[in-house]
Amino acid sequence: MHRRNINFEIECFKDVNNNHYVHPFYKPNHGHLFLSGDHTSMIDYILKNIIRNAVNGFHERELKMIIYSTSIKEHSYSGLIKYLKVPIIERSEELIEQLSKLKKMMMNRYKTFRQNKSRDIKSYNTKVLNSEITHRYMPCVLFVIHEMPSSNEYLETINGLVYDITQQSRAAGIHVILSTASAKDTMSPLLKYNFDGIITKIESIESSKILLSKELVQLAKDIEPGTLMLCGNSGHFRKYIITHNEFRVMLH
């Protein structure tokens, strides 16, 4: 293994001063990552940057990815295939199947941690690397859902599985990125408590389809159109202004 990355973090983007925004998925006060905005916003750019960063920054033994998308193609990212746990998913039934398997994997990992007197994936992998236990290094798993299925037939089941997983999966090294342009129509309001959010291109605060609660509307009344919000699951957020002539953001 060329790099032993115990802490799982991925760069999302850089601002105009070349400062990095890195999301530390492993920290207790950081949730899974929720990206929302219309199709002309930076959301697709940020998601592509996250995936590119993951495949460039981690060894395939350290990270496995599961991607649900109808637009992301394996050939778009150099070296992506070796990181994929399964080929990119395009059907709702396959998404449900993989979420169910992920939930089972999560529970099995916690069982393994208990058996080896480890609190989480970090302490478990430290023991593996130090040869304290004779088990394989356990990779982090990044599950990317790029646009939730629009069919009501599957939404309740998918939302339920995502909720169950995001409630307790970070210590098991399982992390979720949910990217959507229509959060209010496809994403259960319960999920917002388990996600940190990057929300772009707010044109109208009160009528926006990408804000998930009245509380966020109240918090965001001073946000100008065209801003990028980073919303913590504690209700706090930082603001960035999109520079419209390039795919960068400027700290406000």
pLDDT on residue 18:
66
Q: Residue holding tokens 């394996």?
A: 74
Cβ proximity of 194 and 212 under 8 Å: no
Domain count, the chain: 1
Higher pLDDT, 140 or 183: 140
179: in domain: yes
Residue 106 included in any domain: yes
Rounded CA-CA distance 83/141 in Å is 10
Report d(CA 194, CA 232) in Å as an integer. Answer: 10
Angstrom CA distances, 153 to 92, 163, 178, 189, stand at: 9, 17, 19, 18
Model confidence at 248, in pLDDT bands (50, 70, 90)? very low
Instruction: Give the tokens for residue 94.
Output: 């396959």
Write out the residue range of the structural domain in which residue 227 sits. 9-251
The CATH code of the domain that includes 89 is: 3.40.50.300
Residue 60, pLDDT > 70, answer yes
Residue 244: pLDDT over 50: no
Question: For residue 109, is pLDDT > 50?
Answer: yes
* Residue 156 in domain: yes
Instruction: Establish if 99 belongs to a structural domain.
Output: yes
Residue 122 has pLDDT above 70, yes or no: yes
- Predicted confidence at residue 252, as pLDDT, reads 28
Lowest mean pLDDT among 38-47, 50-59, 237-246: 237-246
The residues with which 10 forms a beta bridge, in sequence order, are 23
Q: What DSSP line would sit under 167-182, residue for residue?
A: HH-GGGTEEEEEEES-
Beta strand pairing call for 140-146 and 63-68 = parallel
In a domain? residue 3: no
- Establish if 72 belongs to a structural domain: yes
pLDDT attached to residue 13: 75
Q: Model-level pTM greater than 0.85?
A: no
- Mean pLDDT of the chain, nearest integer: 78
- The pLDDT-based confidence of 140 (bands split at 50, 70, 90) is very high
pLDDT score at 5: 59
Residue 202 near residue 226, CB atoms below 8 Å? yes
pLDDT-derived band at 245, boundaries 50, 70, 90: very low
| pLDDT over 60 (residue 83) | yes
Q: Answer yes or no: is 46 within a domain.
A: yes
Inform me whether the pLDDT recorded for 44 exceeds 70.
yes
Q: Residue 226 above 60 pLDDT?
A: no
Higher pLDDT, 76 or 127: 127
Q: What are phi and psi of 58, to 5 degrees?
A: -130, 145
pLDDT in the model for residue 38? 60
Sign of CA dihedral 72, 73, 76, 77: positive
pLDDT at 124 over 50: yes
Please check whether residue 221 lies inside any domain of the structure: yes
Q: Residue 89: beta bridge partners?
A: 68
pLDDT for residue 15? 58
pLDDT of residue 49: 85
pLDDT digits (tens, 9 = 90+) for 146-191: 988 877 888 899 999 999 999 989 999 999 999 887 777 788 877 7
